[in-house]
Structure 1
């Protein structure tokens, strides 16, 4: 692969990760409930993505059949409710805390895949998972003296963890799909999201949504959903797995900056230590590093 192609892929993925990191800002500033935000995101995202697919011919030779369609529909249900829970957590915990905890999703994917297909999880991965979840508890920074299951903060942390689990369930189903266009998968997921979320969304106040709020929702649909996925899918074809793994950490880093810059939400030293635990554990699992020696181990081990 030439350097120019790789550089283009890096720019595409960098742009996508920066956009992803700003999702929380647009969700909060839209002033809508989590259900409404995701409904509008699916609706606007589907419109823009369908237009792009029709223009670029991405819907040719889709490789779809009835069985695969059913899998996509179930993956869509997990995906859209993952968004609902994540967006709700932004308003009850914080954008930075929720995003970092949500970034533990690869570990839930490993666990769900292992349980679903009765595959053993290596001791090495279990150790990295343990370190990551210690990081989650540090990032959550729960005050045991004021602990209450009914508190908004605990609810936000719990929603971020559930969102990660739902994302992992959706990713597990998508991994079963072979020979199906990724653009078609995303498009079907968005249309399913519109149908599934319509009964939960309160659209009675649609005329009360301000122009400024509509602009945030429009960006969520056109940029954070359509453009971001286009850039990610394009970059994946140009970059190696290690480069992709490292660059995904830009997403939570941007979210932490956004939370600090716009809402003056900063993390304590303990929380920052937790962030590094989660991020490095995720990288180590992706790169198949040994927990003890930090050297790559045989993938079949």
Structure 2
């Protein structure tokens, strides 16, 4: 287990946990917000790539560059469907649906990499998912008229999230800076023809601040940490670590704001940390007796 990678991914997931709130504070439609995020992240990552002189050590592999671009397209659809879900259903329900993604990643990743899934791993993943639903509250269960459009957006976001993360674990030659830069620039190019540019004319300074913040912090920095970490962790561990963001979000509410969670939410937090602990715990080494 790479502890540094584990810490990086934990920080990335914790920051990402607040993206739903910040997206609404920008006052921008989904596509226009993603466009701003992509531009900010592209400029930020380009500056870091140049300042760190990583370009001098860059390894250019055509096949990997193509896969990175495809991963960027998958990530773009992940964003589009997630933010569209935020627009039409509650953040809590959207995030709950989004966390089907790690389960898909776990199953597909096990098939691709022939990684055996024990009964304990499956139980731990189920505990994390149920814990997330408990943390989000009873909104998931009590909607009188389900918004199937929003639910579809959330599920599609989960599918593209899983494919993005699985592709991201295969990049090893290209630097983390260039990997993320290519993906962000791909999003800028693909979105440019579809943007309603007049959406930006009426934004207040505060809304611009939140939009730029999501671009630099929630996109540039988070994706640097993300792609730096997942190439050094197994798909199983990455699948579990995604569940950090809902747990951290409510823990911050408890510590900073003084929020008192319900008994159901406390059970949800404990369930998530049980699953995480099981997934990242040190494995016992099997001692092979010497041949006689």
TM bucket (normalised to shorter chain) is 0.7 to 0.9
Match of 1:64 in 2: 60
Offset of 1:15 from its aligned partner?
A: 6.4
SS at 1:68's partner residue?
A: helix
Give 1:252's match in structure 2, choosing from 237, 246, 249.
246
Give 2:78's match in structure 1, choosing from 75, 82, 89.
82
With normalisation by structure 1, the TM-score equals 0.72
Partners of 2:212 and 2:47 lie apart in 1 by 15
Partners of 1:37 and 1:265 lie apart in 2 by 30
Q: How does 1:15-164 map to 2 (within 5 A)?
A: 19-95=15-91, 98-99=94-95, 102-103=98-99, 105-117=101-113, 120-138=116-134, 139=136, 141-142=138-139, 146-150=143-147, 155=150, 159-164=153-158
2:176·2:228 contact (CA, 8 Å) conserved in 1? no
2:37·2:215 contact (CA, 8 Å) conserved in 1? yes
SS at 2:173's partner residue?
A: coil
1:101·1:136 contact (CA, 8 Å) conserved in 2? no
Q: Deviations over 1:168-216 (max 9, x none)?
A: 2111112222222111111001011112223443223322222222111
Match of 2:271 in 1: 277
For the pair 1:221 / 2:215, whether they are aligned, the reply is: yes
For the pair 1:189 / 2:186, whether they are aligned, the reply is: no
2:241·2:276 contact (CA, 8 Å) conserved in 1? no
Offset of 1:68 from its aligned partner?
A: 0.8
Q: Deviations over 1:14-68 (max 9, x none)?
A: 8656543332332111001111111110011101110111111122332232211
Partners of 1:250 and 1:134 lie apart in 2 by 13
Match of 2:203 in 1: 209
Partners of 1:72 and 1:196 lie apart in 2 by 15
Q: How does 1:160-175 map to 2 (within 5 A)?
A: 160-175=154-169
Consecutive unaligned residues in structure 2, runs of 5 or more:
232-237, 287-292
Offset of 1:98 from its aligned partner?
A: 4.2
1:73·1:192 contact (CA, 8 Å) conserved in 2? yes
Partners of 1:110 and 1:246 lie apart in 2 by 9
SS at 2:24's partner residue?
A: helix
Offset of 1:114 from its aligned partner?
A: 2.7
Q: Deviations over 1:268-287 (max 9, x none)?
A: 53344334334432442233
Higher mean displacement: 28-37 or 223-232: 223-232
Partners of 1:144 and 1:246 lie apart in 2 by 24
Match of 1:240 in 2: none
Partners of 1:140 and 1:112 lie apart in 2 by 29
- In structure 2, relative to structure 1, the CA distance for the partners of 1:287 and 1:131 (3 Å cut) is same
